[in-house]
Structure 1
Amino acid sequence: MSTNTIIIAIDGYSSTGKSTVAKQLAKELGYVYVDTGAMYRAVTLYAMENDFVSVSDFNKEALIAALPEIEVRFEVNPMTGLGEIILNGTNREQEIRGLNVARHVSTIAAVPEVRKKLVELQQKMGERKGIVMDGRDIGTVVFPEAELKLFMTATAKDRAERRYKELIERGEEVTYEDVLKNVVNRDHLDSTRKDSPLRQADDAIVIDNSNLTLKEQFDKILAIAQDHLK
């Protein structure tokens, strides 16, 4: 890793490929990658499994009371070299990626007490720099002084199509209409919540990948990062 290490904050809308490009970038630079979305998904999975949240109900007080019992961390998978989410001692990487969790994660992420707990963990992870972190409020709340901030966006239609293909490839039974509805709903919830809403930092570089291939997107972002490292 270069001695000239920085913090790279990648924010943006759901299903814009933030995690994919962040993983690639961290690997290329020899940096640590942190998927903050996975942390919120893990808390959401805990809430679902303890009947704190459902389609018709959300017991916010019960979740807040249970927060001290929730341990979230990452563990590197030796086969892939990537960090995977560990919830209370158990690897839950696969379970947190389903559409059921996606339906509730914006609700859980809007709880100030949940955000406070996870933001503190995220800030601790970035103390030594040399980190690529993606989420909704990395450049605005978690690391407002990050040396490089990116904000990723794409049309809801493009994002829903990508997400739908990803879920189908994983064997989930979903419809495109449900996925599109989830994308639009998450955009609204993420952008309008009172605590740390999704917004572009004033000094962030916007990456609209609606018409970019994965390679074109990565090459563009890598060039930006290398320029900042100079």
Structure 2
Amino acid sequence: MTAQPELTDLGALGARSLVELAVVRLRAEILSGSLAPGERLVEEQLTRRFGTSRAPLREALRLLGQQGLVEHLPRRGVRVASLSARDIDELFGLRDVLERFAVDLALGDGPPPAERLAVLERATEKVERATAAGETLDQAEAHREFHLALVGLAGHQHLLRVYEPVILQLQLYMATNMRREAEVRPASSGAQRHRRLYEAVASGDRASVLDALGAHGARAYLTPELEAD
């Protein structure tokens, strides 16, 4: 995995702010598993390690809270987001229902419009490139973009607004799932599933898409987290 840039290395990064850099660094550590769900994020330690002040760090934590990756707890500070087994199960179940609804809308009259399908194809290619490069952060972002593009096929803005916070809350667990899968299967397996799902959508055959969704393995490697509530 490519090392994350130091927060003080502004020359090579142009106008990117300290807030953006802190978001990138923390998000990478959370999605890579370096910072575990439930782990406390101590401002003093992070400012010292990142070489920044409290103001940009606090703004970065606020933004990560909006993305569902950290939680702000009254009088207890900030920690990496942690969902119960029931939360994870319910959110994945909701994701499945919303994606199936999107497919029903998108394929009601055959293949979806070419411009929406092109967005899904680009997202599929991004998943494949990130997988080939072995970049954890890029893989997580590409995976999220793919599923947003899948739901976007329906052209239903209210559905997309309902779906997006669900996928944001699940991104940490999707990244964990991908890491665990890579321990027991070829790294290309996940990218191949996304390609099969894209090809099913492109065919316009609803039954094929639903079969591909059913085999997508959203939580196949999260069993330890789902054993107890």
Return the index of the structure with the highest Cα Rg.
2
Q: TM-score, normalised by structure 1?
A: 0.23
Could you say which structure has the greater relative contact order, defined with CA pairs below 8 angstroms and 6 or more residues apart?
A: 1
Please state which structure has a larger fraction of its residues in helix: 2
Q: TM-score, normalised by structure 2?
A: 0.23
